[in-house]
Amino acid sequence: MFYLLHLILLTYFTGNIYTLAEKYPRSEKNGQELLLCRKCGADVADSYYLFSKPSPGAYKTEKQNIFGQQNVTVQTLVNPFGINFEVVTAEKARCDNIGPNQGADSWFPGYSWRICACKHCGQHLGWTFEKTDSNAPKETSENIKTFHGLILKNILGENFTDSLIMMPNMYRM
């Protein structure tokens, strides 16, 4: 009886692994990871698009080796309510931009911001920043038109989820 239950559980887990792997195929590029919504696992960004966009108001800035990339700029940004966010910046991300552009209190001068929420579950993932000055000089990698700030606490590297869903496999030994 106990054995049977065990078997059913295994089948359940195996089924889940299959769906997850099929739904979010692994990035083919070496040393890169997909960044997933921590709440629902939806694909949010590719670590390939992480870039450094320092905010002059950052409370703290450090380099971390995360998501298969070396020296990723992680900034601690503080909002007007005193809430801290550890944020990485990405040139591209898949999220829904919520509400009108806000010009005030932007962490990045010259950019307005909107909330960036998971397309699948609506979880707050960070912000989309959009250049407000259209007469600005030519775009460079530092002077990009739109980018995203993603809250580390609300995203997850795909390889971390791999290590989680591997656990049920160990029961088979």
Ligand X SMILES: *[C@@H]1O[C@H](CO)[C@@H](O)[C@H](O)[C@H]1NC(C)=O
The contact set with ligand X (CB under 6 A) reads 30-31, 33, 68, 70-71, 159
Binders of Zn ion among residues 103 to 132 (CB under 5 A) are 118, 120-121, 123
**Residue with smaller CB distance to Zn ion, 47 or 73:** 47
In whole angstroms, the minimum distance from the beta carbon of 29 to ligand X comes to 9
**Site size for Zn ion (CB under 5 A):** 8
131 binds, among Zn ion, ligand X, none (CB under 5 to 8 A by kind): none
Three-state secondary structure string covering 40-70: CCCEEEEHHHEECCCCCCCCEEEEEEECCEE
Nearest to 146 by CA among 85, 63, 89, 98: 89
For residue 152, how many other CB atoms are within 10 A of its CB? 20
Mark the segment that binds Zn ion (CB under 5 A) among 9-17, 35-43, 56-64, 158-166: 35-43
SS3 139: coil
**Residue with smaller CB distance to ligand X, 24 or 131:** 24
Longest Cα separation, the chain: 73
